[in-house]
Every structure is written in C-alpha cells, then in structure tokens.
Amino acid sequence: MNIIIIQAHIGSTRLPGKVMKELCNKKILLHDYNRCKMVRNIDKVIIATSKNSENDVIEEFCTNNDIECFRGAENNVLDRYYECAKIYNPEYIVRVTSDCPLLEPKLIEYWLENAVRDKVEFVEEEKDIFTGFGVDLFSFSALKKMYDRATTDKQKEHVVGYYYENKGEFFSKKYPLPTELNYLYRDYRLTLDTQEDFELINKLYNKFYKEGFVDLKQVIEYIDNDKKILKINSRIRQKKY
C-alpha cells in the first residue's frame, strides 16, 4: 500500500485560513486533494490536521467531502504523520503540504515508480523545480527512523527535518526529470503562503481551470511567454526552515 498524507491546519503566520480559501468556487484543500487523487498507484489520500479546536473546520470539511481525516499533534507534525501512517502500514508515504494547489501528479507518479523499483528510503526533490511542489516521498521504515531518532523541536515540526540533518543514515536518491517533465525546471514561485501568492494563483486558476483541473504544463508555458504576471508576488521570499 502507498498513501498520500496532506498536512493542513488553519493557523498560518502569513495567510491565516488559507486552506479554506476558494479558487474557482472550491476550497484550496479540495483542489489539493483532487490533484493527489489523480496519482496512480496511490491507495489512500488522507488529510492530517491537529486536535486543536480551530481545526474542527477541517475535519468538518473532510466529512462533508467523504475524505479520510486524521487528527494528531499540533506542533509535532512528525508524530502526526507517524501515528497516521501506522494505521495503514504503507510501503511508501507521500507527504504533501496544503499550500500547493498546482502540484504535479505526474511527478509524484515518477518518483513513486522509481522509489519502488530501487527500494529507496527517501526521494529528494531537485532544488531547481519550481517553488510550489511541496512534496516529499519516503518509505514507512524511513518515517519510523525519523520518528525514533528526532530529538529537536525543528526535527519534529518539519517532519523531514531529521533526514536533511542526517542524510547519511538513509538510502536516498534524486531522480533527474524525464524529458516530458522538463517544464518543471523553473524558478517560478507558485506556492501559496501570502495574499500576493493567492492573487497570482487565483488568476491562473481563473484562466486555466477546466473540468475540475488546472494543467500545470499549460500554466508554465503561459508564464514562459509572459513573465509579467509573476510581478504579483515577486517581492515575496520563501520562508527558511
């Protein structure tokens, strides 16, 4: 079994309540979920939020949309992931952040196919992929290793923090993109962390949303030909963890 766990919460320092904002009359969290459901060879997509009462709205949203929801620790997101994953005992877990309504399902498929074949513990994102993919892929054994060995608040809050500080303890790989996914090699900011980010993604959704989906390749090609639209969030700098 392979699963996707989408981490979501209402609190956000730069754009509070962002996961409940709407793009083309649907909640951002639903767009995240629907894009994840498109990934082949994934058996479950679960939204994992915290037990804090402010996140009751997320559980209610999941119930209303027939989505599996797990509730766990607020700040120890690593614990939340581990306790959620234990229920399903998967081979691989895809970690998705809820601020990426333009994530590319085809890239997750590509990573998963390679990870299963090579039996890697962790697939690491290439750093020149656009900002807004928001995905990590790791085995359940790697998640347990991170859970058992993490000691600092940073390692527990950011799920994969222990891995990035101790890469030598894991069998990991980076996979160069195949030609058909080369459009992902961009330095564009297409994440959702501020009001300016929302304004940009809202414009892109309004232009490209068709039959419940935005084709990321079309979006990238559009920006390639007219980069002026990127001025909307050009002053924003990615948060460092």
Tens of pLDDT, residue by residue over 39-59, are: 999 999 999 999 999 999 999
Question: 69 versus 124: which is more confidently predicted?
Answer: 69
Q: So what's the pLDDT on residue 238?
A: 55
| Residue 239 counted as domain residue | no
Q: What is the DSSP letter of 238?
A: P
236, burial (CB in 10 Å: exposed 0-12, middle 13-18, buried 19+) = middle
Whether the Cβ atoms of residue 199 and residue 232 lie closer than 8 Å to each other: yes
- Domain region containing 22: 2-233
- Three-state SS annotation for 76-110: CHHHHHHHHHHHHCCCEEEEEECCCCCCCHHHHHH
Non-local (6+) Cβ contacts of 76 within 8 A are 156, 157
235-to-35, 98, 195 alpha-carbon distances in Å: 28, 22, 12
Token pair listed for 73: 């620790």
How far, in Å, CA of 130 to CA of 201, rounded?
Answer: 14
| Residue 180 counted as domain residue | yes
- What one-letter code names the amino acid at 68? E
With CA atoms as reference, report the closest residue to 65 among 22, 27, 95: 27
Answer whether residue 77 shows pLDDT above 80: yes
Question: 237 versus 156: which is more confidently predicted?
Answer: 156
- The enclosing domain of 162 has a CATH number of 3.90.550.10
14, burial (CB in 10 Å: exposed 0-12, middle 13-18, buried 19+) = middle
Decide the pairing of beta strands 135-139 and 122-123: antiparallel
Question: 182 versus 238: which is more confidently predicted?
Answer: 182
Q: What is the rounded average pLDDT for all residues in the chain?
A: 95
Q: Return the percentage of the chain with pLDDT > 70, whole number.
A: 98
Q: So what's the pLDDT on residue 127?
A: 72
| Residue 145 counted as domain residue | yes
| Residue 20 counted as domain residue | yes
With CA atoms as reference, report the closest residue to 170 among 160, 178, 184: 160
Residue 241 banded pLDDT, cuts 50, 70, 90: very low
| Residue 140 counted as domain residue | yes
| Residue 172 counted as domain residue | yes
Question: 13 versus 81: which is more confidently predicted?
Answer: 81
- Stretch 162-184: mean pLDDT, rounded? 96
- Stretch 60-67: mean pLDDT, rounded? 98
| Residue 12 counted as domain residue | yes
Handedness of CA 142, 148, 152, 153 (dihedral sign): positive
- Stretch 93-103: mean pLDDT, rounded? 95
Q: Is the pTM of this model over 0.75?
A: yes
| Residue 96 counted as domain residue | yes
Whether the Cβ atoms of residue 46 and residue 32 lie closer than 8 Å to each other: no
DSSP 156-217: HHSSSHHHHH-GGGS-EE--PPPGGGGGG----B---SSHHHHHHHHHHHHHH-BTTB--HH
- Stretch 58-68: mean pLDDT, rounded? 98
List, for residues 125-160, the tens digit of each pLDDT value.
877 888 888 899 999 999 999 999 999 999 999 999
Helix (H/G/I), strand (E/B), else coil: 224: helix
Q: How many domains does the chain have?
A: 1
